[in-house]
Structure 1
Amino acid sequence: MANCGLYCVNLLKMPFEWLVGLRYTRAGRRNGRNSFISFISAISMAGIGLGVTALIVVLSVYNGFQTVVTERMVSVLGHVEVYEVGGTGLADWHSVAAEAARNPQVKGAAPFIEMQGMLVHGGDYLRPSIVRGILPGEETKVSEIGKQMKQGSLDALQPGAYKIILGAELARELEVKMGDRIALAMSQGNSATNMAPLMRSFTVAGTFEAGHNEFDSGLALVNLEDAQQIINAVGPFGLRLRLQDMQKAPEVAAELRNSLPGRLVVRDWTRLNSTWLAVVKSQKNMMFIILTMIIAVAAFNLVATLVMTVTDKQADIAILRTLGASPFSIMKIFVVQGALVGVIGTAIGVACGVLLAWNVGSIVGGIESLFGVHFLSKEIYFISAVPSDLRWGDVGVIAATSLLLAFISTLYPSWRAARVKPAEALRYE
């Protein structure tokens, strides 16, 4: 009894607008007169919760795919690349690497050369490719290709051996296997007197699978010295750097521009893949807008609910007005009622969305096992489980958007309630 009394005292300390708004929200459950209005209110609440849940789960899965693709992309590219401006190559790349290593974020550096050419096998199979010259011992410091080998090893790329390692999809398209001979055809320049392509034969020494189609179908690796011999370069084109934290790549790139000697170009992975990142951002924004419509539909159902409540409660409104309640107080009553529905619906949606986002991989896996279906084909997507990356910043934006839409939905019905004239409302009571 004491606890009940304390609860009643705390309620009495609340503004009367809150007390009446809370009472109207629960009225349908208490006496059944407004059960239909209460039912519509519950549907609106459930709709808001469903929309918030769907938005959180979809954006988390989208973030998961983005994270996986980005990690696989930078596992081959590196985090920062350093080029010599003149295009003659870094003859003394060791000193540049040593200077870059003075930055605490730099974990490793490796030289490289990139060439564009046509790979030919048997005269019938031709595929354009980017051929990258590397040093096997240094490459493992900046990329994960050594761990992504399906056949062979990076150590097979010895200078003078003219061995080549292909992406798994590229090897499949060329129909080659370990030990086969393929030719690399390259242009010798733009001179009209030198139209014949440069040809060099290589032996297939392995394949790798990065899980990113751009590299698996279009990248080949050779020894750095072999690449220099082919194009008569005095040194590597540049260095690829690996950082402690890839998200700090833009900051580290800016620091290296000021600290590295000579005329060097420094680009981080976000600039190297700026088009892809822009597409991903625009797609995510469109996904957010489209799924927000679900919340908007449910939130604007509150308009109908509150309009019906205002119509039903005109006598109560008139009595409150005659007792001295201002039009603004009447507005607050119905804003409280509608906002409460939005808050509860949003809270339910956030709780369900977070739980589903954390366990979406297990849930999808269970559905696949139960019904014997596969939502993601490993041959197409290179992953067998649905990734999820829940970001609390996204959750906060979703919750704020849901609450804002619910609040906006209360304004017109509340304004209409404030305009009720007591004399006319009580005329037929």
Structure 2
Amino acid sequence: MFKPLAIFIGTRYTRAKRRNHFISFISLTSMIGLALGVLAMIVVLSVMNGFQKEMSSRILGMVPHATLSGVQPLDDWQPVAAAALKNSQVIAAAPISELEGMLSYRGGMQPIQVNGIDPRMESKVSIIGSHMQQGSLETLAPGEFGMVIGDITARRFRLNVGDKLTLIVPEISSAPGGITPRMQRFTVVGVFKVGAELDGSLALIDLEDAAQIQRWQPHQVQGVRLALKDLYQAPQVSSAIAAQLGEGYRADDWTHTQGSLFSAMKMEKTMIALLLLLIIAVAAFNIIATLVMVVADKRADIAILRTLGATPGLIMAVFMVQGTVIGLVGTLIGGVLGVLAALNVSNLIGWLERVTGQQILSSDVYFINYLPSDLQAFDVLLICSAALILSFLATLYPAWRASRTQPAEALRYE
């Protein structure tokens, strides 16, 4: 079978047993280092993708993807919801009223955001129904002033279903201070846990109870909450719907409340990827040392090839092939092992926990009790491409030095 001369000689140099075992050792360590760097980068980025996916599904499953509200409370939210559902990106819509205040229980206080919801429709736009630890959303009923609180709030005040606590909300008045507190007694009817900060900062009450606290009519709501197919389209979609509804409506979305968190996570992933890329770069540029020593070891061979008519370009190609083969094998091994490790890292950590008897991720400390992994083909392709490019660039200088070898000078003492 026909094979270009440069590839034939380059691959022969790669697999041939060298007289200088130190060169073989350096070549092997370069290959192993490259494989380990690729493996580590694939596993770490997959785990970070897994954490980001868990955070997105839990936090963004609880907070509104987007809301449409009026300058004044909405007397009829159904037409707004119907207009929103005409957009292909909108999955579901439900009424919502938001207010902020303080929870008080036996002298203890904490700030809280309270969402007034319709328990029958909340499951369409929120995941809270599947994260209830005690009670259920269906126990929220108009006029009974029931409240569903988060697990952190419940543990902080040592609350259980049936306990009573006080909600204090500010109210603008004509008093000298301009604001007077308005207090309402609530009964805990449920406790949820999504494993995030929302467990200590969010509470849910019935929609009509929220209207009564804000001195609205029972049928009035603040706005309409939307669930979208693509979360990252929320600003554009909500703004477009608000524009269609006309003046008097405004749009809000999750990027205003949770955007900084996910921007920080994205920045963290980028910085860790760059740091791990340095590991691959160190391993790849070890190929330079390997090829420089190979060139010095093969000076006589290079000189003989030159006297037989080999051009400098052919000599350069020979050593570029040799270095590229080292990089290709290391990247391939690291890529395969990295994919296997990323797919099984959750099971591996679970096995280590069972063997050692120690829990690495405790649900009391972290929002999940296992190590998530989300392997993405684009990440694997990007990592392997970067490793191959760095390996190829590392071959250029030694190959160029080899092509500059003068036959007469190399063979003078042979």
Q: Is the deviation greater in 186-195 or in 95-104?
A: 186-195
Q: Does 1:370 align with 2:355?
A: yes
Q: For residue 172 of structure 2, give the secondary structure of its aligned residue in structure 1.
A: coil
Determine which of 312, 318, 334 is the counterpart of 1:349: 334
Determine which of 47, 50, 64 is the counterpart of 1:61: 47
Determine which of 43, 52, 57 is the counterpart of 2:29: 43
1: CA distance, partners of 2:73 / 2:369? 42
Determine which of 124, 139, 144 is the counterpart of 2:127: 144
TM-score (norm 2): 0.94
CA positional deviation for 1:110: 1.1
Q: What is the match of residue 3 of structure 2?
A: 14
Q: Does 1:117 align with 2:101?
A: yes
Q: Does 1:100 align with 2:84?
A: yes
Determine which of 374, 396, 404 is the counterpart of 1:419: 404
Q: Does 1:27 align with 2:10?
A: no
1: CA distance, partners of 2:67 / 2:244? 15
Q: What is the match of residue 73 of structure 1?
A: 59
Q: What is the match of residue 3 of structure 1?
A: none
Q: Is the deviation greater in 64-73 or in 106-115?
A: 106-115
Count, aligned residues: 411
Q: Does 1:211 align with 2:195?
A: yes
User: Could you tell me which amino acid in structure 1 is paired with residue 221 of structure 2?
Assistant: P
Question: Identity percentage over the alignment?
Answer: 47
CA deviation map 1:247-275 (0-9, x unaligned): 65456446534544444333443454221
1: CA distance, partners of 2:383 / 2:44? 12
2: CA distance, partners of 1:254 / 1:15? 60
Q: Is the deviation greater in 129-138 or in 170-179?
A: 170-179
Q: Does 1:229 align with 2:212?
A: yes
Q: Does 1:300 align with 2:285?
A: yes
Q: Is the deviation greater in 348-357 or in 198-207?
A: 198-207
Q: What is the match of residue 321 of structure 1?
A: 306
2: CA distance, partners of 1:428 / 1:388? 59
Q: What is the match of residue 278 of structure 1?
A: 263
CA positional deviation for 1:83: 2.4
Q: Does 1:396 align with 2:381?
A: yes
2: CA distance, partners of 1:194 / 1:81? 29
Is 2:194–2:367's contact at 8 Å kept on the other side of the alignment?
no
Is 1:78–1:241's contact at 8 Å kept on the other side of the alignment?
yes
1: CA distance, partners of 2:117 / 2:15? 71
Q: Does 1:130 align with 2:113?
A: yes
CA positional deviation for 1:162: 1.4
Q: For residue 136 of structure 1, give the secondary structure of its aligned residue in structure 2.
A: coil
2: CA distance, partners of 1:381 / 1:419? 59
1: CA distance, partners of 2:251 / 2:302? 69
Q: Mind listing any 5+ residue stretches in structure 1 that lack a counterpart?
A: 1-9
- Aligned CA RMSD, in angstroms, stands at 1.9
Q: What is the match of residue 69 of structure 2?
A: 83
Q: For residue 121 of structure 2, give the secondary structure of its aligned residue in structure 1.
A: helix
1: CA distance, partners of 2:259 / 2:413? 69
Determine which of 267, 275, 289 is the counterpart of 1:290: 275
2: CA distance, partners of 1:423 / 1:404? 35
Determine which of 377, 390, 408 is the counterpart of 1:405: 390
CA positional deviation for 1:236: 1.8
Is 2:172–2:180's contact at 8 Å kept on the other side of the alignment?
no
1:190 and 1:21, CA in 2 relative to 1: closer, same or farther beyond 3 A?
Answer: farther
User: Could you tell me which amino acid in structure 1 is paired with residue 410 of structure 2?
Assistant: A
CA positional deviation for 1:404: 1.1
CA deviation map 1:146-170 (0-9, x unaligned): 2221112212221111111111111
Q: Mind listing any 5+ residue stretches in structure 2 that lack a counterpart?
A: none
CA positional deviation for 1:107: 3.0
Q: What is the match of residue 7 of structure 1?
A: none
Q: What is the match of residue 142 of structure 2?
A: 159
Q: For residue 75 of structure 2, give the secondary structure of its aligned residue in structure 1.
A: coil
Is 2:150–2:200's contact at 8 Å kept on the other side of the alignment?
yes
Determine which of 150, 153, 163 is the counterpart of 1:180: 163
Q: For residue 377 of structure 1, give the secondary structure of its aligned residue in structure 2.
A: coil
CA positional deviation for 1:244: 4.4
2: CA distance, partners of 1:347 / 1:236? 58
Q: For residue 380 of structure 1, give the secondary structure of its aligned residue in structure 2.
A: coil
Is 1:27–1:34's contact at 8 Å kept on the other side of the alignment?
no
CA deviation map 1:369-392 (0-9, x unaligned): 122222111111132221110000
User: Could you tell me which amino acid in structure 1 is paired with residue 27 of structure 2?
Assistant: S
CA deviation map 1:156-196 (0-9, x unaligned): 22111111111111111122222222111122238644443
2: CA distance, partners of 1:91 / 1:331? 78
User: Could you tell me which amino acid in structure 2 is paired with residue 100 of structure 1?
Assistant: A
Is 1:53–1:353's contact at 8 Å kept on the other side of the alignment?
yes
